Amino acid sequence: MTDAAATFAAVFIALYVGHSVGDHWVQSSCQAATKGLPGWSGRLACGRHVLGLTLTKAAVLAPVALVLGLAITALGLVAGLSVDAASHYWADRRTTLAKLAATCGKGEFYSLGTPAHPAHPVTTQGKPAATLGTGAYALDQSWHMLWLGIAALIIAAL
């Protein structure tokens, strides 16, 4: 049991690091700008982003697993990374996560930091002011963290 818990912890940390690098450094500006568009251009951009992100997570996890001698199976790795990739694609199409936020009563928070929010910050000229983050970004990242935990559990358990 302790080995599985240690594997889960190490895998989660590696996936978290890989996620941060892949979602912010590896993702291209074009992918970030177009992955939520309707139609095939958006789907393909999101697919390319998720592929690069998943490869980044695997590249970060591989040396961690080798150096620490983690008992990870191919089945666990493929299942965990697949679940994570599917959940990431689902959220990054944007309309899906926005609809979930609205359904859960988080629609106003989702728009926080944007001109769509009823209390958005403004400049002295009354124009929308830039913010360091948005509710959409916070909900997106927390969604991804949930699925990183699930993926780590799958990888450690199978």
What pLDDT, on the 0 to 100 scale, is given for residue 15?
98
Q: What is the mean pLDDT of residues 139-148?
A: 95
Instruction: Count Cβ neighbours within 10 Å for each residue of 123-154 and write b for 16 or more, e otherwise.
Output: eeeeeeeeeeebbbeebbeebbeebbbebbbb
pLDDT tens-digit series, residues 45-86: 999 999 999 999 999 999 999 999 999 999 999 999 999 999
In the predicted structure, residue 1 carries a pLDDT above the cut 60: no
Asked if 61 contacts 9 with a C-beta cutoff of 8 angstroms, the reply is no
What pLDDT, on the 0 to 100 scale, is given for residue 126?
74
pLDDT tens-digit series, residues 81-140: 999 999 999 999 989 999 998 999 998 878 777 666 666 666 778 776 666 677 788 889
62: its two tokens? 């591989």
What pLDDT, on the 0 to 100 scale, is given for residue 58?
98
Reported as a pLDDT band with limits 50, 70 and 90, residue 2 is: low
> Which stretches of 15-133 are assigned E, i.e. beta strand?
none
Distance, in Å, from the CA atom of 3 to the CA atom of 84, rounded to the nearest integer, reads 22
37-43: long-range pairs with CB below 8 Å, 24+: 42/93, 43/93
Could you tell me the pTM of the whole model?
0.86
